[in-house]
Structures are given as structure tokens and as C-alpha cells.
Structure 1
């Protein structure tokens, strides 16, 4: 079904693996299309309650495959509007938790894609590199939106202007990484984390995700009103009823994601 990615479902988690290891999983037009299809498939599948995005081989993703955009008249705006931007928006609009499992280097647009995910679980051998400046370009694919919101404007400007590599340890220190795991057990640790998230109240998590991202561009008054709106929705889910019942029965809740 796919040529540039792999798609597997395990313990309630869809694992989407960018699968061009000989090219460090660099993006092509086909990969964009296949990632969009996989994300939509995972979003619609009730059996999928968490999504993991990772890379095959030594890299997470090395950014754009420059062999795909050689020449003097590259339509950079069209490349972003038709390929990268829809992918970023799909990651945001999927109301399920999305984990970037950063197994190796995440460079350029590969770093931006990781930033657009909700959580970043990182191998201790992985790194992030904002390489755009090295070829005279600007961080794109949401890089200028997410990075300052995650690490602060000052640090974001430093990373974007210098193109310096960020180690896994440093990524954890500055809040770029959510967790760092040993490379030897990385895949197992990530899937265990994903399985845990998959057992959480998926509808509630989706509403948390929607509200927090909306809150980044709303006033306090608007956010308070939106919280009231989504809380009304959450209060009518089956998972809310199960959570309350489990609380009174003094047992762990069994959420169904409904």
C-alpha cells in the first residue's frame, strides 16, 4: 500500500515509519502524500488511540530530499503550500496524541515535523539540527511557529541563526525533548509509552490538544470560554462516566476512547 513509509498498529498505537533509510528518510512528494494518507487512516480508525511517527535506520528525518528540488527555479512556496503545510496541519487536527519517536538526527524540515508532534521521545543518540540557515533559508514547516513556543524566543533564534546541533541531553534540558531513552531499548520504551497513552481517555486528550493549540492564539477571555465549551463536550463522554465511576469504586478506570 505504501512505498516510502511503513504502517503498523500495535496495542492501540499506529506506528508510522518513514522508510527511506538510504536517504536518511528525506522527504519526497510521494512521502508527503503517503504520510497524509496514513495520518488520516489512523485518525479515522477507532482502534488507534495513539500515533507514533518515527524513522527507519539511523535517522529520524533529514529534511527535504534536495535531489527532488534541484535547479534555479524551485517553487519553494508551492513546495511548502502543497506538501509540508498540509502535513503539519493534519498533525495538529488529528485529535489523538501524536508522538515523534526521534531515533536519530532530525534535521531541517525533519526537525520541524518533530516539533509539530505533541510529544517528542528521543533516543540518547539522536540530535536536532535547524540546518536551514546553512543554505540561506528560513525554518519552515511550522519551525518558526513551534520552536519559540517550545523553547522560548531567545533560544529559538539562537538555534535558527546558528544551525548548531542539539544533543538529546540538551534537548531534554531546554524542553525540546519530552523524554530521552537509551538507544538500545528505544523502540520498546517508545511503544510502551504509546501503549500507556492509548489506554487513556482519547476523546478527552483530543479536546486537550485542540484547546491548548487554540489557546496559543486566543486571549485569556476567549480561552476561558472555549474551555467551558469543550468541558461540556468532555462531560458527556463515556470515558468521563467511567472515570467517575472508577473513582467511587476505588479501582483503575478502563477507558474506551469514547
Structure 2
């Protein structure tokens, strides 16, 4: 039974997860919990005994849910979180190994790149392209693709005990899921290389200091703060948020001329919305605005 978002479970992380039995990984609605509360879509990873390592089926469910939330006018904000003692340990390599392109001698050129494009990159793109603000409520370790999933979100809340780990180099791998795109934009290229080369775990406090996390909160307050932030977003001007998100996400890939042109176009589009008219009217009438997300 889906967990109520008003009692969304969060908890610390620890090495004992590795000793727990592996739970089923086949198609199952319970591996992703979902509910909508007060205009907020709560997407909860739910394979706690595997530290919420993502299977391909689970990944596709998250992508599908984000696409639906993006298009649903009743959804005005999204929270991505997890059950148990970790946020997400990355891709489930045990499952991925059974579905990989096979030994190098049997692969066709482009097989690995195709898997990455269709998998990890689609997941991160679904977060970046979602037209609603997405909050990551990081309840424990976010490693590899799990870290990139959190960092792709618009706002990141982290419990005090949460950690962020770039594990790829430890396994002899190149970062995927947009890590080499996201990290330099958040912390600069030199710090990004340090994190990716060494793979040292960042505490939540260190992640906040570097700008990877918006707010670190005590474990018992993560859910309540996520509710407070998402409720504020859900009551705001949804289309203005979507356009602002697009501008900010594209800003580092544009020169000034292109950025200013995009800003002017976004303003033109936004001024056709009901919420823009309501915002101006409420200012003139000296009252609180009542945004409808339209």
C-alpha cells in the first residue's frame, strides 16, 4: 500500500544494508510508491534492502511518472525521495549485468552508448525537463547515478547523515547520468574532477558548503521541510516556475545575446498566463495572490 506523503519514511544509511537479502527486482508497483497530496506528486523509491539501487524497470517507472506529472495540470510540484536507509545507490549492477550488451567481443559498435542514452541519461533528462519544480529529499546515501538523480533536481534537501558519492572511478567506470555535465555547473571543473577522480564521500554539510545542497536538516525534519517547501511551490505560479527553470538550466550553455533573447521570449509567453495577470492584479489591489497554475 502506498505510503502517505504526510508520513513519508526517511532514515539513516549504513553498511548493514549490503548484508540484507536481495529483494525481488521484477515489475512490481511497490518498487515505486506514488501519491499526490495538495498538488504535490510524491515519487518514492522503495527497494530499501538494496539501498534503492535502480533497476531498469524501476527507472522506467520514475521516468514515466515524471512525464505524467509534467503534463498534469493538477500536479504543481514534485518530491523525489526514498524509503529505508539510503536515497539511491545508483544503478543496480547485478540486474544490469544480466541485461548488458555482453562481452566486448560480442558487442556491436555503439551498444554501450545506446544503453546509456536510453537509461541513465533519459532518467536525468526527465528530471531536468519536467515542467514542475522537483525537490530531492535525500534521506541517506546518494551514490553514482543516485547522486546525479538528486543533483538534477531543482532543489535539494538532505538529512544530516546523508552522503553524496561519485563512485564511478572506484569501479573503473566513467560517470554517467549526466554527472560530467551537472557537477562542473554546480561546483566548477576543478572541484568536479576532485570529486570524480577520488570518489570520496561528501557529508551533507560538505555538500551544502559546495552548493550541491540547498538545506541540511535533522533526520526527523526532512519530511516536514520537504512538505513545507513543496506546498509553497504548489501554491505558486506554476508556468512562471517552468519558464524560470528552463532559463536557468539553459543559461550556462548560452552567450549573453541568446540568454537575453530567451528571457524576453519567456516573459512574452508568461504574460499570457492567468497567474501573471493574477500576480499583477493582487499587487495593485494589495492582497495575497491566488495562483491556479494556469
For normalisation by structure 2, the TM-score amounts to 0.85
Residue matched to 1:41: 68
Task: For 1:45 and 1:226, locate their aligned partners in 2 and report how far apart those are by CA, in whole Å.
Answer: 25
Task: For 1:109 and 1:15, locate their aligned partners in 2 and report how far apart those are by CA, in whole Å.
Answer: 20
Alignment of 1:116-131 (within 5 A): 116-131=152-167
Residue matched to 2:92: 65
1:3 shift after superposition: 3.6
Residue matched to 2:51: 24
Aligned residue pairs, count:
258
Classify the secondary structure of the residue corresponding to 1:57.
coil
1:78 shift after superposition: 3.3
1:2 shift after superposition: 2.3
**Higher mean C-alpha deviation, range 90-99 or range 106-115:** 90-99
Task: For 2:78 and 2:35, locate their aligned partners in 1 and report how far apart those are by CA, in whole Å.
Answer: 10
Task: For 1:18 and 1:205, locate their aligned partners in 2 and report how far apart those are by CA, in whole Å.
Answer: 25
Could you tell me which runs of 5 or more consecutive residues in structure 2 were left unpaired when the two chains were aligned.
Answer: 1-27, 105-110
**Higher mean C-alpha deviation, range 51-60 or range 68-77:** 68-77
Tell whether 2:165 aligns with 1:135: no
Tell whether 2:125 aligns with 1:89: yes
Residue matched to 1:180: 216
Task: For 2:271 and 2:259, locate their aligned partners in 1 and report how far apart those are by CA, in whole Å.
Answer: 18
Larger Rg: 2
Tell whether 2:33 aligns with 1:6: yes
CA deviations 1:181-211 (Å, max 9, x no partner) are: 1101211111111111111100000000111
Q: Is the 8 A contact 2:161 2:219 kept in 1?
A: yes
CA deviations 1:116-137 (Å, max 9, x no partner) are: 1111111111110001110111
Q: State the Cα RMSD in Å.
A: 1.4
Residue matched to 1:255: 291
